[in-house]
Amino acid sequence: MTSIYENESLSGDDVLNEVFRIMEKYEQKSFLECFSIYLGTAQILEFALKKLLEKKFGIPEEATEKLTLGQARVKLESVGLRVDYTELLKQVVKDRNHVAHELLANQALIGSLDYEFSERMQFRELKHFIFGLEQAVFLFDYFQHNNAWETNF
């Protein structure tokens, strides 16, 4: 059996199926566990994007080490990284900022009101953000494996 990373191209269904497979690691986890995995994964993506700037685009490590996820995205856009991926990263950055700065606080506030639906609602929102992040990570790995950071269209 060959790896999906060996495919010359991917369909939308290929990406969806792989992202859903990757998301299985979140099953049977609590809201806080998923929240933690999400933020850790976002940190790993940030690190990988900075390494991409250094290795592929020759940006010195000193210039990347203090970049945030959003700043790394902007820098990648400025050096000409494929637009479809930088557009996905725009949403991932927006989602990550919401999760990091508002979602947990909202969860605590709503939970303190003793509403039964609180965690279920917040969990659904977090799962949506998880999907976008895991899609960005999977595509990063695919593009990196296939050296497909530039597009021909």
Q: What is the CATH number of the domain that holds 52?
A: 1.20.120
pLDDT at 45 over 60: yes
Question: Is residue 113 very low, low, confident or very high in pLDDT (cuts 50, 70, 90)?
Answer: low
Query: Would the pLDDT of 2 be above 90?
Result: no
In a domain, 50, yes or no: yes
* SS3 assignment, position 80: coil
Domain assignment of residue 151, yes or no = no
The span from the first CA to the last CA of the chain, in angstroms, equals 31
Print the domain residue range for 35: 29-146
Give the integer Cα–Cα distance in Å for 50 and 66: 9
Residue 16 lies in a domain: no
At 106, list the tokens. 């909202």
> Looking at the 3D structure of the chain, how many domains does it have?
1
Q: What is the mean pLDDT of residues 116-136?
A: 83
Residue 39 located in a structural domain: yes
